[in-house]
Amino acid sequence: MKRSDRLQQLRTVAARMQPDAAGRASEFAQVRDHAERFLEQLTERNVVGAHTDRAQALAAMALSAQPSNIADALTIIERFVDNSGYHLGSSRFFGYIPSGGLYESALGDYLADVSNRYAGVGLAAPGAARMEQTLLRWLADVVGYPKTAEGDLTSGGSMATLSALVTAREASKLDTRRIPQSVVYVTAQTHHTLHKALQIAGLAECVVRILEVDERQRLEPQSLAKMIDRDKAQGLKPWLVVATAGTTDVGAVDPLDAIADIAQEQGLWLHVDAAYGGAFVLCNEGKKRLKGINRADSLILDPHKGFFLPCGTGVVLVRDGRRLFEAYRARGVYMQDVAHDDERSACDYSPELTRPFRAMRFWLPLKVHGTEPFAAALEEKLLLAQYFYEQIGSIASLRVGPTPDLSIVNFRFTPTGIDADVAGQALIEAITADGRVFISSTRVNGQFVIRFAILNFMSHLEEVDLALTVLREQVETVSAELRASSAKD
């Protein structure tokens, strides 16, 4: 075949990927209708989707050389994606750490992807770079960081933690010889992704001390001070202390100011994991509870939690921004055309070069709504957690844990004569099967604990009351079932 004929042939096939204006309008309308249906159903649906068959799903999703169309694809999505698993964005989802799902974030992703800006390099996409800079500056101001602070928008908290640890490692010039003598201080409440990040960052050989906590699972500063002295006496090098502003299990906020005092005096890097709790600095009450957060050398936040974004955005902030820059500064010769650029480039503060235009999904909802409703929704969550805590205390056979530091409430189900672990498990299963609300469990001090976490921007008093109703009903049903089955034994 002549080259010109082959080119014509190839072009015809490749052009299937280029819908014209009418084609785009039709696809967009179908996607929009689908999304609207999904959002409408989200308010009515059970929080846990129906079981879908894996083999069927995989077969339906299989790819081929031949075209399908948006309508068929949406049918597959509706059947095998939309209605399976947890509805994280539901106002009745109170498990793990709830996520948000601001609609303007989805629109932001759409716009970011349509414009496809090269967001990692300032000269290539000054608008995207400045938008990211604006967000990072705003976040730094909100947490009370000085003008020297720098940061990075990541894909989530895990990557933000990794970036913070790499920065701390570089700032402290921890070479491989020094790593086995370097000590990291954490508590049993520290998120597992911190340990994962240590491992990925080549820091697995560090000595890790698990410090004592108080009855509310908050790091005991005296335990930190004592352990540092003991480690120093043994010739070890205290290096990093990790405090958590809102632990995943119980929502505990470590005493940040007292820990910062010790870190400062002893020359340790203080990293604060505020993935869940950090957003609460937006409201005055939250700011009080997170006092001292601005003294962290590095901290992480998860906008896909407390800023109500859909999954996919974390933040690392470093108080002395040069540290972040120094950890990642490297450029290839093929970047010479952008070398003399005075725009800030995200690639200089991140392990990534090519990256999604993440700022858009974060900036658009904040710009459209203003920051006030975010602060209001977060203060509302603190009050609702307190309300839930008080109400739970009045349900017989539920035993509440400590008053919540933020918006996670712990309690145990302890019907008389029944093992509390067995009872807790049965209650969680019954609530999940009921499907109106979702609540998850964990272990604290080895004990089975039920945890209620409220963080979705659409979760209001009605949803909390519904959770209480479901709990009251299921506590009664499960108690009766457990009594009946234990009488049989």
Ligand X SMILES: *Cc1c(COP(=O)(O)O)cnc(C)c1O
Give the interface with ligand X as residue ranges (CB under 6 A).
97, 156-158, 191, 193, 244, 248, 273, 275-276, 302, 314
State the minimum distance, in angstroms, from the CB of residue 186 to ligand X.
Answer: 12
CA 152 to chain centre: 15
Q: Are 315 and 98 in contact (CB under 8 A)?
A: no
Q: Compute the least distance from the CB of residue 318 to ligand X, in Å.
A: 17
Q: Name every residue whose Cβ is closer than 8 Å to that of residue 5 and which is 6 or more positions away in sequence.
A: none
- Amino acid at position 23, single letter: G
CA–CA distance, 417 with 117 (Å, rounded to integer): 63
d(CA 407, CA 405): 7
- Based on CB atoms, which residue is closest to ligand X, 196 or 436? 196
Question: What DSSP character marks residue 410?
Answer: E
For ligand X, give the closer residue by CB, 315 or 428.
Answer: 315
Judged by beta carbon, residue 196 or residue 472, the one nearer ligand X is 196
Rg of the chain in Å (alpha carbons) = 25
Pairing of strands 408-413, 447-453: antiparallel
Q: How far is the CB of 465 from ligand X (least distance, A)?
A: 26
Nearer to ligand X, 299 or 423 (CB): 299
Q: Which is nearer to ligand X, 194 or 346 (CB)?
A: 194
CB of 399 to ligand X, least distance (A): 25
Residue with smaller CB distance to ligand X, 45 or 191: 191
The DSSP annotation for 29-97 comes to: HHHHHHHHHHHHHHTTS-SBPPP--HHHHHHHH---SS---HHHHHHHHIIIIITSSB-TT-TTEESSS
Cβ atoms of 65 and 31 closer than 8 Å: no
Residue 136: C-alpha distances to residues 79, 146, 148 (Å): 39, 12, 12
The smaller minimum CB distance to ligand X, of residues 194 and 437, is found at 194
Residues in the chain, total: 489
Minimum gap (Å) between residue 250 Cβ and ligand X: 11
Q: Which residue type is seen at 285?
A: E
- Minimum CB separation of residue 155 from ligand X in Å reads 8
> In terms of CB distance, is 231 or 302 closer to ligand X?
302
What's the rounded Cα separation, in Å, for the pair 476 and 385?
A: 23
Whose CB is nearest to ligand X?
Answer: 157
Q: Is residue 198 packed enough to be buried (19+ CB in 10 Å), middle (13-18) or exposed (0-12)? A: buried
- Considering the complex, state which of residue 154 and residue 182 has its C-beta at the smaller distance from ligand X: 154
